[in-house]
């Protein structure tokens, strides 16, 4: 059974700090990795995708991928209260349903003013 | 640009009643379409996916069904709702898995 694991949290950080969200996955052939942000009561929104080992930066967000360790993380610099949400990690289900993404259960982030 | 519409936003239905949720996509052709359910405090569960008109695959046995009568229309149905069908239903589309999904705004269903 292919799995995506995330710490459910809640992760609480002060405003202005760096929030670090982690995700591990079981399928070694995974090539694409996605981070979604879900505000309470809303649908998930794609915020980052990463395909190669290393770092990918987009504004205050940095995704880090280590395929050898089957580990992907999301760093949020200068965290703001508006970043408070649940962050979902997702990887494609290769060999399974076409185009099916496997989602982790998400990490709830709370940024305190 | 591509957009996805999902309605209604909220729905309260009695046990045993029928259900019909609709999702439409604009600005793309032949998308992959998905129905997910998110129960309170739980992760996203894939219910159905479709790669083309009339092509539906079910991931989880349940009293729900899906149909794709048109290229950009995806419908989730039930003949008789159960209490356990309550949850947040999300439609999503993709061109291919390497680009991730775009979700609709969701329907919050409460079965009473």
B100:A90 CB<8 A? yes
CA distance A18 to chain B (A): 25
Structure confidence at residue B23 as a pLDDT band (50, 70, 90): very high
Residue A58, strand partner residues: A61
> Using one digit for the tens of pLDDT, what is the confidence trace for A31-69?
889 999 999 999 999 999 998 899 999 999 999 999 888
Average pLDDT, whole number, for chain B? 91
- Indicate whether B98 pLDDT > 80: no
Average pLDDT, whole number, for chain A? 91
For chain A, the residues whose C-beta falls within 8 A of a C-beta of chain B are 31-32, 34, 41-46, 49, 51, 88, 90, 92-93, 97-101, 103-106
Residue A110, strand partner residues: A12
> Using one digit for the tens of pLDDT, what is the confidence trace for B59-77?
876 799 999 999 999 999 9
DSSP string, A45-82: EEEEEE-SSEEEEETTEEEEEETTTTEEEEEESS--GG
CB pairs under 8 A between A and B: 61
- Indicate whether B97 pLDDT > 60: no
Pair of tokens at residue A66? 């280590």
B100:A34 CB<8 A? yes
Structure confidence at residue A102 as a pLDDT band (50, 70, 90): confident
Mutating which of A2, A29, A31, A43 best tests the B interface, going by the most B Cβ atoms within 10 A?
Answer: A43
Confidence at residue B28, expressed as pLDDT on a 0 to 100 scale? 87
B57:A97 CB<8 A? yes
Pair of tokens at residue A105? 């259960």
Name the 3-class secondary structure at A93: coil
The C-alpha atoms of residue B14 and residue A57 are separated, in whole angstroms, by: 48
- Indicate whether B29 pLDDT > 90: no
């Amino acid at each position: 059974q292919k799995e995506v694991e995330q710490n459910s949290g809640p992760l609480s950080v002060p405003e202005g700090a760096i929030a670090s969200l982690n995700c591990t996955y079981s399928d070694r052939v995974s090539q694409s990795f996605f981070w979604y942000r879900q505000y309470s009561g809303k649908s998930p929104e794609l915020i980052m995708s990463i395909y190669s080992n290393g770092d990918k930066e987009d504004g205050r967000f940095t995704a880090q991928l280590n395929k050898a360790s089957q580990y992907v993380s999301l760093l949020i610099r200068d965290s703001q209260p508006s970043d408070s949400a649940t962050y979902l990690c997702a990887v494609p289900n290769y060999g399974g349903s076409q185009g099916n993404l496997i989602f982790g259960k998400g990490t709830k982030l709370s940024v305190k003013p | 640009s591509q957009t996805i519409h999902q309605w209604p936003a909220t729905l309260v239905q009695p046990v045993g009643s029928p259900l019909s949720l609709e999702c439409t996509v604009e600005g793309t052709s032949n998308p992959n379409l998905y129905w997910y359910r998110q129960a309170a405090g739980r992760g996203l569960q894939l219910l159905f996916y479709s790669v083309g008109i009339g092509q539906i695959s079910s991931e989880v046995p349940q009293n729900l069904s899906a149909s794709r009568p048109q290229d950009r229309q995806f419908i989730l149905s039930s003949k008789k709702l159960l209490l356990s069908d309550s949850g947040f239903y999300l439609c999503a589309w993709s061109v291919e898995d390497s680009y991730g999904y775009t979700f609709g705004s969701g329907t919050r269903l409460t079965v009473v």
